[in-house]
């Protein structure tokens, strides 16, 4: 993650807490995020991802901030209508679906919660542990998560995942097809990871199917507003402030 971008997030959070502490009335969130946006919109450090060809065409100038509250209010500024593929952000919400379907203990037993100390797409990590559960936020674990989703068939599994994302985002999301096809043409490493995991019996379905569905979920387009709404579900103990649905059992949220 870009360090200055992380600093922006920390600064914004600090401003929010400071404003809340110093005023009896509700903080002026709109003004706070506008100040943060103005301060950092000229920062052009970092670069767009280019390991997936279709992502290389995205503009590094797009910058937006959205705050979604547990009261169901939205404050935002910047390029808020610009959509972008979820990529690894999607891992969190498919993990939540697996936990809701199977319970946290089964998910922990099958997917683990261990830091690998290696890159997120490491095959060496799989070899060193001989396929033992790592965690669902690295690529191997995320594809295993997809294979855990209860479904009648491939189509049903994908529909369950997409419907879950829709509910969290309180929107009808869709796959960015050019990005999906670009990723499918260049995801040989993920295919190898899936086959390696399967050889250690750490996959719970067809590995090729899991790779395709995982790639599809990573290619779902989202805006900062939709993403902020998804975060608000976690902040509100698993219940969406926008559609009232309990999407994750409250006691599962800290896990």
Q: Number of folded domains in the chain?
A: 1
Burial of 38 (0-12, 13-18, 19+ CB in 10 A): exposed
In a domain, 150, yes or no: yes
pLDDT reported for residue 20: 52
Residue 189 sits in a domain of what CATH number? 3.40.710.10
pLDDT reported for residue 26: 75
Residues spanned by the domain of 98: 87-222
Q: How far is CA 255 from the centre of its chain?
A: 16
In a domain, 68, yes or no: no
pLDDT reported for residue 6: 44
In a domain, 22, yes or no: no
Inter-residue contact 173 to 225 (CB < 8 Å): no
In a domain, 140, yes or no: yes
pLDDT confidence bin for 202, thresholds 50/70/90: confident
Q: What is the pLDDT of residues 112-147, one digit of tens each?
A: 998 888 888 888 888 888 877 789 999 999 999 999
In a domain, 168, yes or no: yes
In a domain, 29, yes or no: no
Distance CA 251, CA 253 (A): 6
Q: What is the pTM of this model?
A: 0.88
DSSP string, 194-235: HHHHHHTT--SS-HHHHHHHHHHHHTBEE-HHHHHHHHHHHH
In a domain, 195, yes or no: yes
In a domain, 247, yes or no: no
């Amino acid at each position: 993650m870009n360090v200055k971008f992380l600093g922006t997030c920390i600064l914004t959070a600090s401003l929010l807490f400071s404003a809340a502490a110093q005023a009896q009335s509700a903080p002026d969130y709109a003004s706070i995020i506008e100040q943060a946006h103005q301060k950092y919109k000229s920062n052009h450090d970092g670069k767009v991802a280019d390991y997936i060809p279709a992502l290389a065409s995205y503009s590094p100038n797009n910058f937006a901030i959205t705050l979604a509250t547990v009261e169901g209010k939205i404050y935002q500024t910047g390029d808020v209508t610009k959509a972008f593929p979820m990529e690894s952000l999607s891992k969190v919400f498919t993990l939540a679906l697996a936990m809701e379907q199977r319970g946290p203990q089964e998910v922990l037993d099958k997917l683990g919660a261990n830091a690998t100390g290696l890159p997120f797409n490491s095959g060496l990590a799989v070899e060193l542990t001989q396929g033992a559960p790592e965690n669902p936020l690295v690529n191997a674990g995320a594809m295993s998560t997809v294979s855990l989703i209860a479904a009648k068939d491939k189509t049903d599994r994908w529909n369950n995942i997409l419907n879950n994302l829709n509910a969290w985002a309180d929107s009808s999301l869709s796959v960015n097809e050019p990005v999906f096809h670009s990723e499918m043409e260049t995801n040989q490493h993920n295919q190898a990871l899936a086959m390696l995991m399967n050889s250690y019996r750490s996959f719970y379905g067809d590995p090729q199917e899991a790779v395709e569905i995982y790639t599809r979920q990573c290619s779902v387009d989202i805006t900062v507003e939709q993403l902020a709404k998804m975060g608000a579900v976690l902040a509100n103990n698993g219940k969406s402030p926008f559609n009232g649905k309990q999407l994750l059992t409250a006691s599962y949220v800290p896990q």
